[in-house]
């Protein structure tokens, strides 16, 4: 049985997100550096199978009323 853990406070390595993008064939042009910059400013949550990132989502917000959820991914 697979145990998946959700973390919003655990740091999500940019390289792990890059690998998940690759697994779902998304955003081949996004670099690890660009992903790291996004992770530093946006709210994000990761789903982990032990030390492997298997799910991810991030939110962009105006800080008051509105948020937009983007990059919702689950490893195939």
What residues make up the domain containing 37? 4-74
Taking phi over 0 as left and psi of -120 to 50 as alpha, with beta for the rest, 63 belongs to: left
**pTM to 2 decimals?**
0.87
Burial of 16 (0-12, 13-18, 19+ CB in 10 A): buried
CATH code of the domain covering residue 55:
3.40.630.30
Instruction: Give me the tens of pLDDT residue by residue for the chain, a chain 76 residues long.
Output: 778 887 766 789 999 999 999 999 999 999 999 999 999 999 999 999 988 999 999 999 999 999 999 999 999 9
Q: How many separate domains does the chain show?
A: 1
């Amino acid at each position: 049985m697979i145990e998946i853990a959700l973390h919003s406070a655990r740091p999500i390595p940019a390289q792990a997100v890059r690998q998940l993008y690759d697994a779902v064939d998304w955003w081949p042009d996004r670099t690890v550096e660009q992903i790291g910059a996004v992770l530093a400013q946006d709210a994000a949550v990761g789903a982990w199978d032990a030390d492997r990132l298997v799910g991810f989502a991030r939110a962009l917000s105006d800080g008051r009323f509105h948020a937009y959820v983007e990059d919702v991914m689950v490893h195939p």
